[in-house]
Amino acid sequence: MSDYLPILVMSLLVIAFVLLSFVASQLLTRQRGNAAKQAPYECGIVPEGTENAERFPVKFYLVAMSFIVLDVEIVFLYPFSVVFRGLGLFGLVAVSTFVLVLLIPFAYLLSVGALEWAPVRDVFERLPGPLLRTSEAVYDPAYRPPLEGEEEAA
């Protein structure tokens, strides 16, 4: 029990500091509000009009979260790359499992089209050449560009 006493004391000190900070901030500050501070999305600028703010599409948040997850993955892979020879087969299996667990959600995002943005899709659909014009752009490996004087088959 005496081994855990410092941890208990530190936890109590942290809780007391947090509570004291909240109480002090309520007691020491003046409660003065204005129209800009009371408005939604407080930023010091008075909103114009009564219409709601434009919402971001869910795809934006999916891309942002996957970017953060993949960045964290890279941070964890760096120490492995420094000591990978000393870890042997166990290290290889552990890192392979780690990468697989993080790439499965990324593959899911790709499969549901979360990373397909409309402007890019439109560009691919308008490209001439080895892309078949179907409901989605498909590469046609049998395509051969016409030679000079030849007409392209419709």
pLDDT of 107 reads 83
Would you say the C-alpha torsion 80, 84, 86, 90 has a positive or negative sign? Answer: positive
Low-confidence ranges of the chain (pLDDT < 50): 131
pLDDT at 24: 93
Return d(Cα 117, Cα 56) in angstroms, integer.
13
Give pLDDT, residue 32.
74
pLDDT at residue 114, as a whole number: 72
Which pLDDT score, from 0 to 100, does residue 73 have?
84
- Kindly list the structural domains of the chain, giving each domain's residue range(s) and its CATH number in brackets, ordered by start: 57-113 (1.20.58.1610), 117-144 (no CATH)
Residue 139 DSSP class: E
CA angle 47, 52, 57 (to 5 degrees): 120
pLDDT value at position 44?
55
Structure confidence by residue, pLDDT tens digits, 3-20: 899 999 999 999 999 999
pLDDT in the model for residue 15: 97
Q: State the pTM of this model.
A: 0.40
User: How far, CA to CA in Å, does 44 sit from each of 31, 35, 50, 58, 105?
Assistant: 17, 9, 17, 27, 39
Contact 96, 110 (CB under 8 A): no
